[in-house]
Structure 1
Amino acid sequence: MDIIINKQAIRINDQVCSSLRDVKRVLQERPVARLLIAYEIPGRETGLQLLHWAAERNRIPAQVNILEPNLRASKVLSDFLISQGYKSFSARQYVRVKAFGHKAI
């Protein structure tokens, strides 16, 4: 399952969600293969705040793609992912290379 969150919409497997509450519910209830995220997202939160929320619950998917066109905002997301044990294979694609308390992928 993929979750795509950008400034215009939130999509989960081609289904548009109405809120970040729905996204958080999905992240908690189901395995998510990949998260595609921007810094500016619908609602009051930012993409960074959502990543912090997911990290606190160990729910950031193993693959994260940054969709943010603003380079400064993209770097903020990138720096956070790297601090969480993700490796960048490009400026937009990140994969978790070490899981805290688990065997590395």
Structure 2
Amino acid sequence: MKHYPVEFKADAVALYRSKPGATIRSVADDLGVNTETLRNWIRAADGRRPGAHFAPPTAAQAGGGDVQADLAAARKRIRELEEEHDILRKAARYFATETRW
């Protein structure tokens, strides 16, 4: 069983929530995690599963600092990752059509 850092779990949940209309499956595929794993992280973040092992990182865990600045940085990183993902998706689509004869 893989163990993911708390920050990765929080970012994955935030990414899912930031994409309107996205499915858990599509976000899980994008991140390379199991669909049920991401579903469990979302449930744990919502507090819907007793005894969950997930909690968003506190300021102390994240190294302190300004929460708003951390949030802005996380949103910027999500935008960057979404752009990279779009580029990779387009490239994959291009190469898929090139290999069909």
Query: What range describes the TM-score normalised by the shorter chain of this pair?
Result: under 0.3
Q: TM-score, normalised by structure 1?
A: 0.26
* Greater share of residues in helix: 2
* Greater share of residues in strand: 1
Larger radius of gyration: 2
Which structure has more RCO (C-alpha within 8 Å, separation ≥ 6)?
Answer: 2
